[in-house]
Structure 1
Protein backbone atom coordinates (compact mmCIF):
# COMPACT_ATOMS: atom_id res chain seq x y z
CA UNK A 1 0.00 0.00 0.00
CA UNK A 2 1.33 3.43 -0.96
CA UNK A 3 0.09 7.02 -0.80
CA UNK A 4 -0.56 9.67 -3.43
CA UNK A 5 -0.86 13.44 -2.87
CA UNK A 6 -3.85 14.70 -4.87
CA UNK A 7 -3.43 17.57 -7.32
CA UNK A 8 -5.96 20.18 -8.54
CA UNK A 9 -8.64 18.64 -10.82
CA UNK A 10 -7.80 15.11 -9.59
CA UNK A 11 -10.68 12.66 -9.17
CA UNK A 12 -10.92 9.05 -8.05
CA UNK A 13 -11.46 8.09 -11.70
CA UNK A 14 -8.29 9.87 -12.91
CA UNK A 15 -6.20 8.49 -10.04
CA UNK A 16 -7.51 4.97 -10.66
CA UNK A 17 -6.52 5.30 -14.32
CA UNK A 18 -3.09 6.66 -13.37
CA UNK A 19 -2.32 3.65 -11.16
CA UNK A 20 -4.09 1.08 -13.38
CA UNK A 21 -6.75 0.26 -10.77
CA UNK A 22 -9.82 -1.63 -12.00
CA UNK A 23 -12.44 0.88 -10.95
CA UNK A 24 -12.68 4.20 -9.12
CA UNK A 25 -15.09 2.62 -6.60
CA UNK A 26 -12.43 0.05 -5.68
CA UNK A 27 -9.99 2.90 -5.01
CA UNK A 28 -12.43 4.95 -2.91
CA UNK A 29 -13.54 1.91 -0.90
CA UNK A 30 -9.96 0.77 -0.31
CA UNK A 31 -9.00 4.23 0.95
CA UNK A 32 -12.03 4.55 3.24
CA UNK A 33 -11.49 1.07 4.74
CA UNK A 34 -7.81 1.63 5.53
CA UNK A 35 -7.58 5.32 6.47
CA UNK A 36 -8.39 6.98 9.78
CA UNK A 37 -11.99 8.08 10.40
CA UNK A 38 -11.06 11.74 9.89
CA UNK A 39 -9.63 10.99 6.43
CA UNK A 40 -12.74 9.23 5.03
CA UNK A 41 -13.84 10.79 1.72
CA UNK A 42 -17.51 10.65 0.71
CA UNK A 43 -17.97 12.87 -2.34
CA UNK A 44 -15.57 15.52 -3.62
CA UNK A 45 -11.83 14.87 -3.56
CA UNK A 46 -9.96 17.81 -1.97
CA UNK A 47 -6.63 18.91 -3.45
CA UNK A 48 -3.58 18.08 -1.34
CA UNK A 49 -5.20 15.03 0.28
CA UNK A 50 -3.17 11.85 0.81
CA UNK A 51 -4.95 8.93 -0.90
CA UNK A 52 -4.11 5.31 -0.04
CA UNK A 53 -3.27 3.33 -3.20
CA UNK A 54 -3.64 -0.50 -3.23
CA UNK A 55 -0.80 -2.60 -4.64
CA UNK A 56 -2.55 -5.97 -4.42
CA UNK A 57 -2.92 -7.49 -7.96
CA UNK A 58 -6.64 -8.17 -7.35
CA UNK A 59 -7.28 -4.40 -7.51
CA UNK A 60 -5.28 -3.86 -10.72
CA UNK A 61 -6.68 -3.99 -14.23
CA UNK A 62 -5.79 -6.92 -16.48
CA UNK A 63 -4.13 -4.57 -18.97
CA UNK A 64 -1.69 -3.28 -16.39
CA UNK A 65 -0.73 -6.82 -15.42
CA UNK A 66 -0.23 -7.86 -19.05
CA UNK A 67 1.82 -4.70 -19.75
CA UNK A 68 3.98 -5.45 -16.74
CA UNK A 69 4.52 -9.01 -17.91
CA UNK A 70 5.42 -7.78 -21.40
CA UNK A 71 7.93 -5.27 -19.99
CA UNK A 72 9.52 -8.00 -17.91
CA UNK A 73 9.78 -10.26 -20.96
CA UNK A 74 11.41 -7.50 -23.04
CA UNK A 75 13.94 -6.75 -20.31
CA UNK A 76 14.67 -10.44 -19.96
CA UNK A 77 15.25 -10.84 -23.72
CA UNK A 78 17.56 -7.82 -23.81
CA UNK A 79 19.71 -9.24 -21.03
CA UNK A 80 19.93 -12.62 -22.74
CA UNK A 81 21.20 -11.07 -25.99
CA UNK A 82 23.96 -9.27 -24.10
CA UNK A 83 25.27 -12.40 -22.37
CA UNK A 84 27.94 -14.79 -23.59
CA UNK A 85 27.08 -18.42 -24.32
CA UNK A 86 28.42 -19.52 -20.95
CA UNK A 87 26.43 -16.91 -19.01
CA UNK A 88 23.33 -17.73 -21.07
CA UNK A 89 23.53 -21.37 -20.02
CA UNK A 90 24.02 -20.47 -16.35
CA UNK A 91 21.02 -18.12 -16.43
CA UNK A 92 18.84 -20.77 -18.04
CA UNK A 93 19.72 -23.21 -15.28
CA UNK A 94 18.86 -20.58 -12.67
CA UNK A 95 15.55 -19.82 -14.39
CA UNK A 96 14.63 -23.50 -14.37
CA UNK A 97 15.38 -23.72 -10.65
CA UNK A 98 13.41 -20.52 -9.97
CA UNK A 99 10.48 -21.75 -12.04
CA UNK A 100 10.43 -25.03 -10.09
CA UNK A 101 10.51 -23.12 -6.80
CA UNK A 102 7.73 -20.79 -7.93
CA UNK A 103 5.52 -23.72 -8.94
CA UNK A 104 6.19 -25.36 -5.58
CA UNK A 105 5.16 -22.13 -3.81
CA UNK A 106 2.03 -21.87 -5.95
CA UNK A 107 1.05 -25.44 -4.99
CA UNK A 108 1.59 -24.67 -1.31
CA UNK A 109 -0.48 -21.47 -1.57
CA UNK A 110 -3.24 -23.36 -3.35
CA UNK A 111 -3.31 -26.01 -0.62
CA UNK A 112 -3.41 -23.35 2.09
CA UNK A 113 -6.19 -21.36 0.40
CA UNK A 114 -8.34 -24.45 -0.17
CA UNK A 115 -8.09 -25.47 3.48
CA UNK A 116 -9.48 -22.22 4.92
CA UNK A 117 -13.05 -23.30 4.05
CA UNK A 118 -12.71 -26.72 5.71
CA UNK A 119 -15.39 -27.21 8.35
CA UNK A 120 -17.27 -24.07 7.25
CA UNK A 121 -20.90 -23.99 6.17
CA UNK A 122 -22.27 -22.89 2.84
CA UNK A 123 -24.70 -19.97 3.16
CA UNK A 124 -28.38 -20.25 2.20
CA UNK A 125 -31.03 -17.65 1.47
CA UNK A 126 -32.41 -17.50 5.01
CA UNK A 127 -28.92 -16.71 6.31
CA UNK A 128 -28.17 -13.24 7.69
CA UNK A 129 -25.40 -10.72 7.01
CA UNK A 130 -23.83 -7.88 8.95
CA UNK A 131 -22.02 -4.66 8.00
CA UNK A 132 -19.25 -3.27 10.19
CA UNK A 133 -20.74 0.21 9.63
CA UNK A 134 -24.43 -0.70 10.05
CA UNK A 135 -26.89 -1.64 12.79
CA UNK A 136 -29.28 -4.23 11.30
CA UNK A 137 -28.90 -7.81 10.05
CA UNK A 138 -30.83 -8.40 6.80
CA UNK A 139 -31.41 -11.76 5.17
CA UNK A 140 -29.95 -12.71 1.82
CA UNK A 141 -31.91 -12.86 -1.44
CA UNK A 142 -30.83 -15.37 -4.10
CA UNK A 143 -31.34 -14.06 -7.65
CA UNK A 144 -28.53 -15.83 -9.54
CA UNK A 145 -30.39 -19.15 -9.83
CA UNK A 146 -33.37 -21.22 -8.65
CA UNK A 147 -31.70 -24.59 -9.00
CA UNK A 148 -29.56 -25.77 -6.08
CA UNK A 149 -30.61 -26.19 -2.44
CA UNK A 150 -28.43 -27.07 0.53
CA UNK A 151 -29.85 -29.84 2.74
CA UNK A 152 -33.43 -29.62 1.56
CA UNK A 153 -34.96 -32.30 -0.65
CA UNK A 154 -38.27 -30.41 -0.89
CA UNK A 155 -36.68 -27.43 -2.67
CA UNK A 156 -37.79 -24.71 -0.28
CA UNK A 157 -36.65 -21.23 -1.31
CA UNK A 158 -35.08 -20.58 2.09
CA UNK A 159 -32.46 -23.23 1.35
CA UNK A 160 -31.27 -21.86 -2.01
CA UNK A 161 -27.46 -21.78 -2.21
CA UNK A 162 -26.01 -18.25 -2.15
CA UNK A 163 -23.42 -17.55 -4.87
CA UNK A 164 -20.92 -14.78 -5.55
CA UNK A 165 -23.49 -12.98 -7.76
CA UNK A 166 -26.21 -12.73 -5.09
CA UNK A 167 -25.84 -9.11 -3.97
CA UNK A 168 -29.39 -8.27 -2.84
CA UNK A 169 -30.79 -8.36 0.69
CA UNK A 170 -34.17 -8.50 2.40
CA UNK A 171 -35.28 -5.79 3.04
CA UNK A 172 -33.88 -4.18 -0.13
CA UNK A 173 -34.14 -0.57 1.10
CA UNK A 174 -31.72 0.55 3.83
CA UNK A 175 -30.86 -3.08 4.65
CA UNK A 176 -28.45 -2.16 7.46
CA UNK A 177 -30.49 0.67 8.98
CA UNK A 178 -28.22 3.67 9.58
CA UNK A 179 -24.62 4.08 8.41
CA UNK A 180 -21.84 4.89 10.90
CA UNK A 181 -19.85 6.54 8.11
CA UNK A 182 -22.58 9.17 7.69
CA UNK A 183 -22.90 11.04 11.00
CA UNK A 184 -25.10 14.12 11.21
CA UNK A 185 -26.40 16.49 13.88
CA UNK A 186 -29.56 14.40 14.12
CA UNK A 187 -27.79 11.04 14.22
CA UNK A 188 -26.53 8.67 11.57
CA UNK A 189 -28.02 8.97 8.07
CA UNK A 190 -29.78 5.99 6.44
CA UNK A 191 -27.80 3.20 4.80
CA UNK A 192 -27.34 3.58 1.02
CA UNK A 193 -25.98 0.11 0.28
CA UNK A 194 -24.20 -0.22 -3.09
CA UNK A 195 -22.04 -3.32 -3.64
CA UNK A 196 -18.57 -3.08 -5.15
CA UNK A 197 -18.03 -6.12 -7.36
CA UNK A 198 -18.98 -9.62 -6.22
CA UNK A 199 -18.60 -11.59 -3.00
CA UNK A 200 -14.95 -12.39 -2.30
CA UNK A 201 -13.33 -15.28 -0.38
CA UNK A 202 -15.84 -17.67 -1.94
CA UNK A 203 -15.36 -21.44 -2.35
CA UNK A 204 -14.26 -21.89 -5.96
CA UNK A 205 -14.25 -25.71 -5.81
CA UNK A 206 -18.05 -25.86 -5.60
CA UNK A 207 -20.02 -23.86 -8.16
CA UNK A 208 -23.69 -23.45 -9.04
CA UNK A 209 -24.19 -22.70 -12.74
CA UNK A 210 -20.56 -21.59 -12.96
CA UNK A 211 -20.76 -19.28 -9.92
CA UNK A 212 -18.66 -19.81 -6.77
CA UNK A 213 -20.56 -20.54 -3.56
CA UNK A 214 -20.57 -18.21 -0.55
CA UNK A 215 -19.40 -19.63 2.80
CA UNK A 216 -19.13 -18.29 6.34
CA UNK A 217 -15.76 -16.74 5.38
CA UNK A 218 -16.99 -14.73 2.40
CA UNK A 219 -16.94 -10.92 2.31
CA UNK A 220 -18.57 -8.14 0.25
CA UNK A 221 -17.54 -4.48 0.06
CA UNK A 222 -19.90 -1.50 -0.05
CA UNK A 223 -18.98 1.62 -2.04
CA UNK A 224 -19.67 3.74 1.04
CA UNK A 225 -16.85 1.96 2.87
CA UNK A 226 -18.52 -0.80 4.86
CA UNK A 227 -17.42 -4.45 4.87
CA UNK A 228 -20.24 -7.00 4.78
CA UNK A 229 -19.74 -10.47 6.27
CA UNK A 230 -21.87 -13.49 7.13
CA UNK A 231 -23.67 -13.24 10.49
CA UNK A 232 -25.58 -16.55 10.28
CA UNK A 233 -25.18 -19.19 7.55
CA UNK A 234 -28.83 -20.25 7.93
CA UNK A 235 -28.36 -24.02 8.04
CA UNK A 236 -29.29 -26.15 11.01
CA UNK A 237 -26.35 -27.20 13.12
CA UNK A 238 -27.89 -30.57 13.99
CA UNK A 239 -29.32 -33.25 11.73
CA UNK A 240 -32.33 -35.37 12.53
CA UNK A 241 -32.85 -38.86 11.11
CA UNK A 242 -35.08 -37.53 8.34
CA UNK A 243 -32.46 -34.93 7.39
CA UNK A 244 -29.77 -37.62 7.28
CA UNK A 245 -31.87 -39.80 4.98
CA UNK A 246 -32.53 -36.92 2.56
CA UNK A 247 -28.99 -35.48 2.60
CA UNK A 248 -26.62 -36.10 -0.28
CA UNK A 249 -23.45 -37.76 1.03
CA UNK A 250 -21.17 -36.12 -1.54
CA UNK A 251 -22.47 -32.65 -0.72
CA UNK A 252 -22.09 -33.28 3.01
CA UNK A 253 -18.50 -34.40 2.48
CA UNK A 254 -17.69 -31.18 0.61
CA UNK A 255 -18.67 -28.71 3.33
CA UNK A 256 -17.86 -30.99 6.30
CA UNK A 257 -14.92 -33.18 5.19
CA UNK A 258 -13.96 -34.10 8.76
CA UNK A 259 -17.05 -36.31 9.17
CA UNK A 260 -17.44 -39.62 7.33
CA UNK A 261 -21.06 -39.04 6.38
CA UNK A 262 -21.69 -42.60 5.12
CA UNK A 263 -20.54 -43.99 8.44
CA UNK A 264 -22.63 -41.40 10.28
CA UNK A 265 -25.70 -42.36 8.22
CA UNK A 266 -25.19 -46.04 9.05
CA UNK A 267 -24.99 -45.22 12.75
CA UNK A 268 -28.20 -43.19 12.61
CA UNK A 269 -30.09 -45.78 10.55
CA UNK A 270 -28.46 -48.87 12.08
CA UNK A 271 -30.37 -51.71 13.65
CA UNK A 272 -31.43 -51.37 17.26
CA UNK A 273 -29.39 -53.94 19.27
CA UNK A 274 -32.37 -54.34 21.65
CA UNK A 275 -34.96 -54.84 18.92
CA UNK A 276 -36.95 -58.07 19.22
CA UNK A 277 -37.34 -60.03 15.98
Structure 2
Protein backbone atom coordinates (compact mmCIF):
# COMPACT_ATOMS: atom_id res chain seq x y z
CA UNK A 1 0.00 0.00 0.00
CA UNK A 2 1.31 3.44 -0.93
CA UNK A 3 0.09 7.02 -0.69
CA UNK A 4 -0.52 9.38 -3.60
CA UNK A 5 -0.56 13.15 -3.12
CA UNK A 6 -3.51 14.48 -5.11
CA UNK A 7 -3.51 17.45 -7.47
CA UNK A 8 -6.33 20.04 -7.83
CA UNK A 9 -7.76 18.30 -10.92
CA UNK A 10 -7.62 14.76 -9.52
CA UNK A 11 -10.67 12.58 -8.96
CA UNK A 12 -11.06 8.96 -7.94
CA UNK A 13 -11.72 8.12 -11.59
CA UNK A 14 -8.54 9.82 -12.85
CA UNK A 15 -6.40 8.31 -10.09
CA UNK A 16 -7.81 4.85 -10.77
CA UNK A 17 -6.94 5.27 -14.44
CA UNK A 18 -3.45 6.55 -13.59
CA UNK A 19 -2.67 3.46 -11.51
CA UNK A 20 -4.60 1.00 -13.76
CA UNK A 21 -7.10 0.17 -11.01
CA UNK A 22 -10.21 -1.65 -12.22
CA UNK A 23 -12.80 0.78 -10.90
CA UNK A 24 -12.86 4.09 -9.06
CA UNK A 25 -15.24 2.60 -6.48
CA UNK A 26 -12.62 -0.03 -5.59
CA UNK A 27 -10.13 2.78 -4.97
CA UNK A 28 -12.57 4.86 -2.92
CA UNK A 29 -13.59 1.90 -0.73
CA UNK A 30 -9.98 0.77 -0.23
CA UNK A 31 -8.91 4.26 0.83
CA UNK A 32 -11.84 4.76 3.22
CA UNK A 33 -11.30 1.37 4.87
CA UNK A 34 -7.59 1.92 5.48
CA UNK A 35 -7.28 5.63 6.24
CA UNK A 36 -7.93 7.43 9.51
CA UNK A 37 -11.46 8.60 10.25
CA UNK A 38 -10.54 12.22 9.50
CA UNK A 39 -9.35 11.24 6.00
CA UNK A 40 -12.50 9.40 4.88
CA UNK A 41 -13.76 10.86 1.57
CA UNK A 42 -17.34 10.50 0.36
CA UNK A 43 -17.54 13.16 -2.35
CA UNK A 44 -14.90 15.20 -4.19
CA UNK A 45 -11.24 14.85 -3.22
CA UNK A 46 -9.79 17.90 -1.45
CA UNK A 47 -6.61 19.17 -3.10
CA UNK A 48 -3.43 17.95 -1.44
CA UNK A 49 -5.07 14.91 0.13
CA UNK A 50 -3.11 11.67 0.37
CA UNK A 51 -5.00 8.81 -1.28
CA UNK A 52 -4.04 5.27 -0.30
CA UNK A 53 -3.27 3.08 -3.32
CA UNK A 54 -3.63 -0.72 -3.04
CA UNK A 55 -0.87 -3.06 -4.13
CA UNK A 56 -2.99 -6.22 -4.28
CA UNK A 57 -3.16 -7.51 -7.90
CA UNK A 58 -6.90 -8.16 -7.61
CA UNK A 59 -7.53 -4.40 -7.76
CA UNK A 60 -5.66 -3.87 -11.02
CA UNK A 61 -6.57 -4.32 -14.67
CA UNK A 62 -5.16 -7.46 -16.23
CA UNK A 63 -2.16 -6.98 -18.56
CA UNK A 64 -2.80 -7.76 -22.18
CA UNK A 65 0.57 -9.49 -22.44
CA UNK A 66 3.74 -8.57 -24.33
CA UNK A 67 4.33 -9.04 -28.05
CA UNK A 68 7.10 -11.52 -27.27
CA UNK A 69 4.65 -13.68 -25.36
CA UNK A 70 2.20 -13.56 -28.27
CA UNK A 71 4.92 -14.60 -30.75
CA UNK A 72 5.89 -17.47 -28.50
CA UNK A 73 2.29 -18.60 -28.28
CA UNK A 74 1.94 -18.49 -32.08
CA UNK A 75 5.12 -20.55 -32.57
CA UNK A 76 3.88 -23.23 -30.22
CA UNK A 77 0.30 -23.26 -31.50
CA UNK A 78 0.73 -26.11 -34.00
CA UNK A 79 2.53 -28.33 -31.49
CA UNK A 80 -0.16 -27.71 -28.89
CA UNK A 81 -2.89 -28.47 -31.43
CA UNK A 82 -1.41 -31.88 -32.23
CA UNK A 83 -1.00 -32.62 -28.55
CA UNK A 84 -4.55 -31.52 -27.78
CA UNK A 85 -5.98 -33.75 -30.52
CA UNK A 86 -4.25 -36.78 -29.02
CA UNK A 87 -5.34 -35.77 -25.54
CA UNK A 88 -8.93 -35.33 -26.68
CA UNK A 89 -9.09 -38.91 -27.94
CA UNK A 90 -7.75 -40.19 -24.63
CA UNK A 91 -10.13 -37.98 -22.68
CA UNK A 92 -13.14 -39.29 -24.62
CA UNK A 93 -12.20 -42.84 -23.68
CA UNK A 94 -11.75 -41.89 -20.05
CA UNK A 95 -15.09 -40.06 -20.09
CA UNK A 96 -16.91 -43.15 -21.35
CA UNK A 97 -15.31 -45.30 -18.68
CA UNK A 98 -16.10 -42.89 -15.86
CA UNK A 99 -19.67 -41.95 -16.83
CA UNK A 100 -21.20 -44.69 -14.68
CA UNK A 101 -19.05 -43.66 -11.73
CA UNK A 102 -20.13 -40.02 -12.12
CA UNK A 103 -23.80 -40.99 -12.16
CA UNK A 104 -23.36 -43.03 -9.01
CA UNK A 105 -21.48 -40.18 -7.34
CA UNK A 106 -24.19 -37.67 -8.26
CA UNK A 107 -26.85 -39.94 -6.79
CA UNK A 108 -24.90 -40.29 -3.56
CA UNK A 109 -24.42 -36.53 -3.26
CA UNK A 110 -27.91 -35.48 -4.34
CA UNK A 111 -28.77 -34.25 -0.85
CA UNK A 112 -25.99 -31.65 -0.94
CA UNK A 113 -28.16 -29.42 -3.14
CA UNK A 114 -30.10 -28.62 0.03
CA UNK A 115 -27.04 -27.14 1.73
CA UNK A 116 -27.69 -23.61 3.02
CA UNK A 117 -31.34 -23.86 2.01
CA UNK A 118 -34.14 -23.03 4.43
CA UNK A 119 -36.81 -25.46 5.51
CA UNK A 120 -40.29 -24.29 4.57
CA UNK A 121 -42.92 -23.51 7.21
CA UNK A 122 -46.70 -23.13 7.07
CA UNK A 123 -46.61 -19.38 6.44
CA UNK A 124 -44.33 -19.97 3.46
CA UNK A 125 -45.61 -18.88 0.04
CA UNK A 126 -45.73 -20.92 -3.17
CA UNK A 127 -46.06 -20.05 -6.84
CA UNK A 128 -47.28 -21.92 -9.91
CA UNK A 129 -45.74 -21.18 -13.29
CA UNK A 130 -49.25 -21.32 -14.79
CA UNK A 131 -51.07 -19.33 -12.10
CA UNK A 132 -51.49 -15.74 -10.97
CA UNK A 133 -51.84 -15.87 -7.18
CA UNK A 134 -49.48 -16.94 -4.40
CA UNK A 135 -51.10 -18.97 -1.61
CA UNK A 136 -49.61 -20.10 1.68
CA UNK A 137 -49.34 -23.65 2.97
CA UNK A 138 -51.84 -25.54 5.07
CA UNK A 139 -49.95 -28.21 6.99
CA UNK A 140 -52.07 -31.33 7.52
CA UNK A 141 -49.44 -34.07 7.73
CA UNK A 142 -48.63 -33.41 11.40
CA UNK A 143 -48.96 -30.98 14.31
CA UNK A 144 -45.69 -31.90 15.95
CA UNK A 145 -42.58 -30.10 14.67
CA UNK A 146 -42.00 -26.35 14.39
CA UNK A 147 -39.00 -24.68 12.77
CA UNK A 148 -37.30 -22.03 14.93
CA UNK A 149 -40.26 -21.43 17.22
CA UNK A 150 -40.26 -22.63 20.80
CA UNK A 151 -43.83 -21.44 21.42
CA UNK A 152 -45.34 -23.84 18.92
CA UNK A 153 -47.16 -21.31 16.75
CA UNK A 154 -49.01 -22.95 13.87
CA UNK A 155 -47.39 -20.58 11.37
CA UNK A 156 -44.04 -22.28 12.03
CA UNK A 157 -45.16 -25.87 11.41
CA UNK A 158 -42.67 -27.75 9.24
CA UNK A 159 -43.93 -28.51 5.73
CA UNK A 160 -43.41 -32.12 4.61
CA UNK A 161 -43.73 -33.97 1.33
CA UNK A 162 -47.34 -34.90 2.19
CA UNK A 163 -48.55 -31.32 2.69
CA UNK A 164 -50.43 -30.72 -0.55
CA UNK A 165 -53.08 -28.23 0.58
CA UNK A 166 -52.88 -24.46 0.36
CA UNK A 167 -54.59 -21.44 1.86
CA UNK A 168 -57.00 -20.56 0.32
CA UNK A 169 -58.03 -24.12 -0.59
CA UNK A 170 -60.30 -23.14 -3.51
CA UNK A 171 -58.58 -21.89 -6.66
CA UNK A 172 -55.34 -21.26 -4.75
CA UNK A 173 -53.52 -19.90 -7.80
CA UNK A 174 -56.38 -17.80 -9.17
CA UNK A 175 -56.68 -18.42 -12.90
CA UNK A 176 -54.85 -21.02 -14.98
CA UNK A 177 -52.80 -20.08 -18.04
CA UNK A 178 -53.32 -23.58 -19.40
CA UNK A 179 -57.07 -22.95 -19.64
CA UNK A 180 -57.57 -19.98 -21.96
CA UNK A 181 -61.06 -19.02 -23.10
CA UNK A 182 -62.75 -16.25 -25.03
CA UNK A 183 -63.50 -14.52 -21.75
CA UNK A 184 -60.02 -14.94 -20.30
CA UNK A 185 -58.34 -17.71 -18.37
CA UNK A 186 -60.53 -20.19 -16.53
CA UNK A 187 -60.22 -20.65 -12.75
CA UNK A 188 -57.46 -22.80 -11.29
CA UNK A 189 -58.47 -26.41 -10.68
CA UNK A 190 -55.46 -27.42 -8.61
CA UNK A 191 -54.95 -31.12 -7.95
CA UNK A 192 -51.57 -32.42 -6.83
CA UNK A 193 -49.95 -35.02 -9.06
CA UNK A 194 -48.15 -36.98 -6.36
CA UNK A 195 -46.05 -35.67 -3.49
CA UNK A 196 -43.47 -32.91 -3.24
CA UNK A 197 -40.20 -33.81 -4.95
CA UNK A 198 -36.63 -32.68 -4.26
CA UNK A 199 -37.34 -32.89 -0.54
CA UNK A 200 -34.64 -33.32 2.11
CA UNK A 201 -34.87 -36.99 3.00
CA UNK A 202 -32.22 -36.76 5.72
CA UNK A 203 -34.59 -34.71 7.89
CA UNK A 204 -38.03 -36.20 8.42
CA UNK A 205 -41.08 -35.52 10.55
CA UNK A 206 -43.00 -38.67 11.43
CA UNK A 207 -41.32 -40.46 8.53
CA UNK A 208 -42.06 -37.72 6.01
CA UNK A 209 -39.26 -35.82 4.25
CA UNK A 210 -39.13 -32.07 4.80
CA UNK A 211 -39.71 -29.49 2.07
CA UNK A 212 -36.96 -26.93 1.41
CA UNK A 213 -36.61 -23.90 -0.86
CA UNK A 214 -35.76 -26.06 -3.89
CA UNK A 215 -38.61 -28.55 -3.57
CA UNK A 216 -41.16 -28.89 -6.38
CA UNK A 217 -44.72 -30.14 -6.82
CA UNK A 218 -46.57 -30.88 -10.06
CA UNK A 219 -50.23 -30.10 -10.64
CA UNK A 220 -52.27 -32.63 -12.60
CA UNK A 221 -53.27 -29.83 -14.96
CA UNK A 222 -49.63 -29.30 -15.93
CA UNK A 223 -48.34 -26.48 -13.75
CA UNK A 224 -45.14 -26.69 -11.71
CA UNK A 225 -45.36 -25.39 -8.16
CA UNK A 226 -42.23 -24.07 -6.45
CA UNK A 227 -41.35 -22.19 -3.27
CA UNK A 228 -41.57 -18.40 -3.50
CA UNK A 229 -40.88 -17.66 0.19
CA UNK A 230 -39.78 -20.18 2.81
CA UNK A 231 -41.49 -18.20 5.59
CA UNK A 232 -38.55 -17.97 7.97
CA UNK A 233 -36.95 -14.60 8.53
CA UNK A 234 -33.23 -13.97 8.92
CA UNK A 235 -32.53 -11.76 11.93
CA UNK A 236 -29.41 -9.86 12.94
CA UNK A 237 -28.10 -11.21 16.24
CA UNK A 238 -25.84 -9.64 18.85
CA UNK A 239 -22.89 -11.75 17.72
CA UNK A 240 -23.22 -10.41 14.17
CA UNK A 241 -23.19 -6.83 15.42
CA UNK A 242 -20.32 -7.36 17.87
CA UNK A 243 -18.17 -9.09 15.25
CA UNK A 244 -18.72 -6.35 12.67
CA UNK A 245 -15.94 -3.84 12.06
CA UNK A 246 -17.21 -0.45 13.28
CA UNK A 247 -14.97 1.53 10.96
CA UNK A 248 -16.04 -0.45 7.92
CA UNK A 249 -19.72 -0.16 8.82
CA UNK A 250 -19.30 3.59 9.28
CA UNK A 251 -18.04 3.83 5.70
CA UNK A 252 -21.02 1.91 4.36
CA UNK A 253 -23.53 3.67 6.64
CA UNK A 254 -22.15 7.13 7.44
CA UNK A 255 -25.46 8.28 8.95
CA UNK A 256 -25.41 5.57 11.66
CA UNK A 257 -23.14 5.80 14.70
CA UNK A 258 -22.22 2.11 14.74
CA UNK A 259 -20.53 2.18 18.14
CA UNK A 260 -23.68 3.64 19.65
CA UNK A 261 -25.71 1.01 17.80
CA UNK A 262 -23.54 -1.72 19.33
CA UNK A 263 -24.18 -0.37 22.81
CA UNK A 264 -27.92 -0.30 22.21
CA UNK A 265 -27.92 -3.87 20.90
CA UNK A 266 -26.00 -5.06 23.95
CA UNK A 267 -28.46 -3.36 26.28
CA UNK A 268 -26.18 -0.57 27.39
CA UNK A 269 -27.38 3.00 27.70
CA UNK A 270 -24.86 5.24 25.90
CA UNK A 271 -26.14 8.25 27.86
CA UNK A 272 -25.95 6.64 31.29
CA UNK A 273 -23.81 8.56 33.77
CA UNK A 274 -21.94 6.43 36.26
With a CA cutoff of 8 Å and minimum separation of 6, indicate the structure with the bigger relative contact order. Answer: 1
| Structure whose alpha-carbon radius of gyration is higher | 2
**Structure 1 length as normaliser, TM-score?**
0.49
